[in-house]
Amino acid sequence: MRNRPRGSHLGLMLLASQLFQMGLNNIPPVTLAVLGLNVYLYLFPAAPLMQACVSVQQAYWFKDWRRLLLSPLHHADDWHLYFNMVSFLWKGTKLEHRLGGPWFLYLLSVFSLLTGLVYLLLEAILTELTQDQSYSMACAVGFSGVLFALKVLSNHYHPGGVTYVMGFPVSNRYVSWVELVLIHMTSPGTSLIGHLAGILVGLLYTAGPLKAVMKKCAGFVTSNRYNSQPSAYYSSSGYSGQTSPSGAPPPYGFHLSEEARAEDIRLRRLRRFDS
């Protein structure tokens, strides 16, 4: 997250080169679509940069809450976009393969919104503690807060791994915190609070209640969809009343509850009896 004037389009050309080197066919659909959306909104922004960035003053005081949706998807310049999207390309590809497209898209949506909310909360707390209104006026933009949340999640899946930061080995458990400090020291224009907000959101998912809450919400939506249109649900999802070949249900709550399955079996038996 940061805010500075736009530069040339060299970053866009390098990003295109990175995409073709990796191969578009090797990039999973959600990752590719989100990356494409970021590039599109850089070229054709939904709002001017100063109307897309998020701050306590603009979002909370002036009630411009749409900035929570706009700020992660807009970037200050093409280099800002390039570094964020190259990072997202690798993180997104790995996580989407692991979690599946639907859950990864759900995860990105929640992380994007929560990172902005936590950023506002942290800036409001700093304003109150220091009595310095500049914290409430600091306006952040960019996808890097979400990237820090994804980094925490990625490192959570590889707790024993090591990442080299400036040539020094750092345990994956602590690498997000090390990078938080280093990026702030080497790039003063970046938002330390925005990156910290991303780390906290990632920890809420890996060590807090966020994952469980998301599963419950996903299960609730799926259950309501089943109750309103059971035939359409089974037709569109291809669900056959059986578990996966491995015997395990689909991951992360995107499946019917046992009660729903039992009810469906009962209805099928009644239909056979009536006929």
The count of residues in the chain is: 275
What whole-number distance in Å separates Cα of residue 247 and Cα of residue 257?
15
Q: How many CB atoms lie within 10 A of CB 218?
A: 17
- Going by C-alpha positions, the residue among 52, 15, 61 that lies closest to residue 142 is 52
Catalytic positions, please? 144, 195
Handedness of CA 29, 30, 35, 41 (dihedral sign): positive
CA-derived radius of gyration, the chain: 22
What whole-number distance in Å separates Cα of residue 65 and Cα of residue 70?
9
Contacts 24+ apart (CB under 8 A), 208-216: 210/110, 210/114, 214/106, 214/107, 214/110, 214/252, 214/253, 215/252, 215/253, 216/253
Handedness of CA 13, 15, 17, 23 (dihedral sign): negative
